[in-house]
Structure 1
């Protein structure tokens, strides 16, 4: 099978399954992250027809060759896009989940989690994700502009 056909099948059928709901649940256990990434590692080898162990092409180079990005980078990017939509009223959320800073309306206040697993929740991690963005990205006028400003930073 030609590699472009395999890539099309992978991005159409497998990648959506790997990314399903990852914007919200984004696995925080290293083991789960590695297991998800291993699927893409194997797919990159298959796409480039690297079946034998004698050919050594690092994973990052395989991704660049295929113009793919790491799954953790994709998750981070999609979380930031969702935050942009929450903060710019494209997706309504209940009051109090995200609080803007009183001093700087472009920043979010940090919330504390009551449990370790809750500390990996999107709304607890939101201030760190959002506040680490450049001011220009936080001031973006549209989702498209925001994506353009953030994409190469994360992926």
Structure 2
């Protein structure tokens, strides 16, 4: 229930910011509207997203709906038969869920490499034996029947981390790692 209130508040704030942009930039070019959305609305929707990434379909839909409304506004296309997914692709916007996944993996990589004070290497247990699917920095995944733990930052990110290719995992520089993630998830 607590998360639903947080998401409701966040999406309401994002919608208010989008409304402000719509009222004040309705006659502007697509580039200016795009920049305004990415500068004023999307940061509201992504605030602390690396650690609170929602997992239920209705929560994800509620957040993505703000971006979908923004895409219609930027493209000036309110026809109900138009594909909003195509508009988002044309604008080169990632889904917010994908952006949150990249943020989670980037934070985890920074912790692994020692850039953050999260003792990942001491808290987690590495996989003893490599398989064809695993890489040299794989960890034993944490399982739980409780959603509050199962979908929290570390257990959820471990699954994504263990599925990354070796060439991305081998990158130690955080900026290069994030760039490789963005290329990988394109």
Scaled by the length of structure 2, what TM-score is found? 0.75
How far does residue 94 in structure 1 lie from its aligned partner after superposition?
4.1
Q: For the residues of structure 1 that align with 2:69 and 2:92, how far apart are their CA atoms?
A: 15
In structure 2, the partner of 1:81 is 106
Deviations 1:72-97 (A, max 9, x none): 11011111111111111111214654
Contact 2:112–2:119 at 8 Å: present in 1 too?
no
In structure 1, the partner of 2:125 is 99
- How many pairs were matched up? 153
SS at match of 1:31: helix
Q: For the residues of structure 1 that align with 2:123 and 2:55, how far apart are their CA atoms?
A: 20
Q: What does residue range 46-85 of structure 1 map to in structure 2 within 5 Å?
A: 46-53=73-80, 56-85=81-110
How far does residue 109 in structure 1 lie from its aligned partner after superposition?
1.1
Deviations 1:100-134 (A, max 9, x none): 22335411111233622210011112321111000
Q: For the residues of structure 2 that align with 1:98 and 1:20, how far apart are their CA atoms?
A: 27
How far does residue 6 in structure 1 lie from its aligned partner after superposition?
1.2
Structure 1 gaps, min length 5: none
Contact 1:86–1:92 at 8 Å: present in 2 too?
yes
Structure 2 gaps, min length 5: 1-27, 131-135
SS at match of 2:89: helix
Compare relative contact order (CA 8 Å, sep 6+) and give the higher one, 1 or 2. 1
Tell me which moved more, 142-151 or 125-134.
Answer: 142-151
Q: For the residues of structure 2 that align with 1:126 and 1:68, how far apart are their CA atoms?
A: 22
Tell me which moved more, 76-85 or 92-101.
Answer: 92-101
- Give yes or no for the alignment of 1:144 onto 2:170: no
Q: Report which of the two has the higher share of helix.
A: 2
In structure 1, the partner of 2:43 is 16
